[in-house]
Chain A
Amino acid sequence: MPTPLDLIKKKRAEAVSRIIGKGYLSTKRVYVGMATCEIAAGSKDVMEVFQKAISLGLTDVYLSQKGCAGRCNLEPTVEVIESGKSPVKYGKVDKDRAIQIIERHLKNGQVIQEWVID
């Protein structure tokens, strides 16, 4: 009889598989903040920009949402985590900045230093 501990470990493995199946191991993972404060600052529009880009053919990107990271005065925030590179956190991202991030960072690998929170 599997114990609850056995079962949860199995569940964890299955969950990880599912995440990988969704493309978690892609080269670029993009997280858009979607807490109430972020949404109030305009992150829904930002999310739509990324979603649209993916539907128009932007590949190798795992797009997800995240909760509040605590950087309230710099919202909306967008994190870009790339394999082999340090994670990059952008602050005060609006629709224009989002488009720039897609073009310059995601498509051309160029971190836009002025917008990075560090």
Chain B
Amino acid sequence: MATTYGIIVCDGTRCINSGARTLTLALQEQLDRHGLRDRVTISLSGCLGMCDKGPILVVNPGYTIYGNVTEADIPEIVEEHLVHRRPLARLAIQEDHLYNRFFRVFGDENFFGKQMRIALRNCGIIDPENLDDYLSLRGFEALAKVLTELTPEQVVAEVEKSGLRGRGGAGFPTGLKWKFTAAQKATPKYVICNADEGDPGAFMDRSAIEGDPHTVVEGMAIGGYAVGASKGIVYIRAEYPLAIRRITKAIEDARAHGLLGENILGSDFSFDIEIRLGAGAFVCGEETALIHSIEGARGMPRPRPPYPSVQGLFGRPTLINNVETWANIPVVLLDGANWFRTVGTENSKGTKVFALAGKVVNTGLIEVPMGTTLREIIYEVGGGIPDGKKFKAVQTGGPSGGCLPEGYLDTSIDYDSLARAGSIMGSGGMIVIDEDSCMVDIAKFFLEFTQNESCGKCTPCREGTKRMLEILVRITEGKGQPGDIEKLERLGDTIQKASLCGLGQSAPNPVLSTIKNFREEYEEHIHEKRCRARACTNLVTYEITEKCVGCGACRRVCPVGAITGAAKKLHVIDQDKCVKCGMCFNACKFDAIVKV
């Protein structure tokens, strides 16, 4: 059967302005001339994101992109490419960038205007369960290029040059890690993808895998080639069943296409990937604990050195990186380290995915270049604080991070600036806090999490976080004592400096940063027994104001009978009986009950 062609004419605004509409007519004319009308479909697409080279014409199959097409070029295109099957070199655009395809195609400039999608470049565009979608967007071309043109040393050098740093939170230079692992002589070596995203509420890695699992597969294969490993393992938490399904399918499809397994794409590089599930422990996101978990032992970290790149899984050199780091690798190799370096700041290259959550209008998953400020993210991408409330703080880095108040809003998002400000980049959690949240309560929430998840191996983390938590609970219950803040600082300092692994070392961060930036709130809780955000139940008093119409709704729902009042008369809450459950507050339809 004769080849069927599809021609896509870019119908984006700038191409139209450059004359795209006339191309369609010219095409139809030429096709008629050659009798090809019924074998060629012409369609118009939205902006394809190559506006500076417009008008754009794409000819399929083959995905040949013609740029700067004028009406005069059409006869030649039809004759050479469609009739004689010889694509026109002089008009064809050789490169199409992998990145930034996204927002131009989909509008929604307010949200996507400041973003740049590299790790998430295909999320929201492709069907993640269809490898063809990924292949059509130059999927696995990075791996093919690496296998055709680069030695493993050159791949490592390119990653090093790019300045990519680990996206799991520590920000260790990725290329350096690859270099150390590649330099080891022991075999076999392993490549691991850390998909055990444990920060409460974080979903960057989940979305990345659910939206585009193939980029992780490709990245790991490139990593295996670079360091000399033929076995990869994705360690993914069992609480992500859809992500597990999708990446399992991605691996199977890749194998079926010869993109994983023996002799990939006809080369002598073999690589395959296995999936291992986590079992619900936050600590297993720590690299040595993760390795022990894969080995079948209890997920407890061990002292380093030796580092996993020297002695990792089963005692062998192991390269372990986060999902987002892997997702960046195909772009680094295909678009080049030099281009990658143009994004971001001096010491933090590239972009970072954040899960923007909390009191902000546009909650969601965003990817911004390093160097974007917190203010831009919260107020421009995020759309500001809803309901007219006042911004109080932004929490970055999850349970390992800190809370930054208003004065830090112009801090640029990069590893070093955030650390200097007293927080950390972390894996990408960003929670916006408004005036209705209590900073002590937030510190308590995070510390409760880390104490529950502490593996229990080392004394400062296991015992110390428990004692800090006890002090915080006392403070939020109104039983704080003078000296408590100093005790928290002292314990926090010891735990930070003496713990065995990152969990313990960063567990006191939320507490210490809230003490540093919001010390007044702690002091109010302790000395005045007052919570200014009115969030700590024991410190809140419910009172009925004059707005009360005496409907009695509150009196009826009070579980302890603390409210008295006659019909249509002002009701009163007996503070001695009140257990501060808040049922009356919710029941009142006249906003007559206030929290004081």
Q: Do chains A and B touch in the complex (CB under 8 A)?
A: yes
A contact set with B: CB distance below 8 Å: 1-5, 7-9, 11-20, 24-25, 27, 31, 33, 35-37, 39, 64-74, 79, 81, 83-87, 89, 117-118
Q: Please determine whether A81 and B45 come into contact, CB atoms closer than 8 angstroms.
A: yes
Q: Can you give 14 contacting A-B residue pairs, CB < 8 Å?
A: A1-B266, A3-B148, A4-B147, A9-B141, A13-B63, A20-B60, A36-B242, A66-B123, A67-B124, A67-B207, A69-B106, A69-B365, A84-B43, A117-B111
Q: Please determine whether B364 and A72 come into contact, CB atoms closer than 8 angstroms.
A: yes
* Bound CA span A8–B334, Å: 13
Chain A residues with CB under 8 Å of B106's CB are 69, 79, 87, 89
* Bound CA span A37–B145, Å: 35
Q: Please determine whether A39 and B242 come into contact, CB atoms closer than 8 angstroms.
A: yes
* Bound CA span A89–B364, Å: 15
Residue of B nearest to A5 (CB): B148
Q: Please determine whether A12 and B136 come into contact, CB atoms closer than 8 angstroms.
A: yes
Interface residues of B in 103-129 (CB under 8 A from A): 105-111, 120, 122-129
- Tally of contacts, chain A with chain B, CB under 8 A: 174
Using known A-B contacts A4-B147, A5-B148, A67-B123, determine if residue A11 contacts B135 with beta carbons closer than 8 Å.
Answer: yes
Which applies to chain B's interface (DSSP): helix, strand, loop or mixed? mixed
From the candidates A13, A74, A89, name the one contacting B107 in the complex (CB within 8 A): A89
From the candidates A3, A11, A16, A85, name the one contacting B46 in the complex (CB within 8 A): A85
Residue of A nearest to B109 (CB): A118
Interface residues of B in 343-364 (CB under 8 A from A): 357, 361-364
Using known A-B contacts A36-B206, A67-B212, A89-B106, determine if residue A12 contacts B366 with beta carbons closer than 8 Å.
Answer: no
Bitwise interface map of B from 65 to 109 toward A, beta carbon under 8 Å scored 1, else 0: 000000000000000000000000000000000000000011111
B44 within 8 Å of A (CB atoms): yes
Q: Please determine whether B365 and A68 come into contact, CB atoms closer than 8 angstroms.
A: yes
Q: Please determine whether A16 and B123 come into contact, CB atoms closer than 8 angstroms.
A: no
What 8 A-B pairs come out closest when comparing CB atoms? A67-B211, A69-B124, A8-B144, A4-B265, A84-B44, A70-B365, A15-B135, A68-B207
With both chains docked as a complex, state the minimum distance between the C-beta of A80 and any C-beta of chain B, in angstroms.
11
Q: Please determine whether A65 and B127 come into contact, CB atoms closer than 8 angstroms.
A: yes
Chain B residues with CB under 8 Å of A18's CB are 132
* Bound CA span A10–B266, Å: 13
* Bound CA span A36–B240, Å: 8
* Bound CA span A27–B267, Å: 40
Q: Please determine whether A67 and B362 come into contact, CB atoms closer than 8 angstroms.
A: no
B271 within 8 Å of A (CB atoms): no
Residue of A nearest to B383 (CB): A73
Interface residues of B in 362-382 (CB under 8 A from A): 362-367
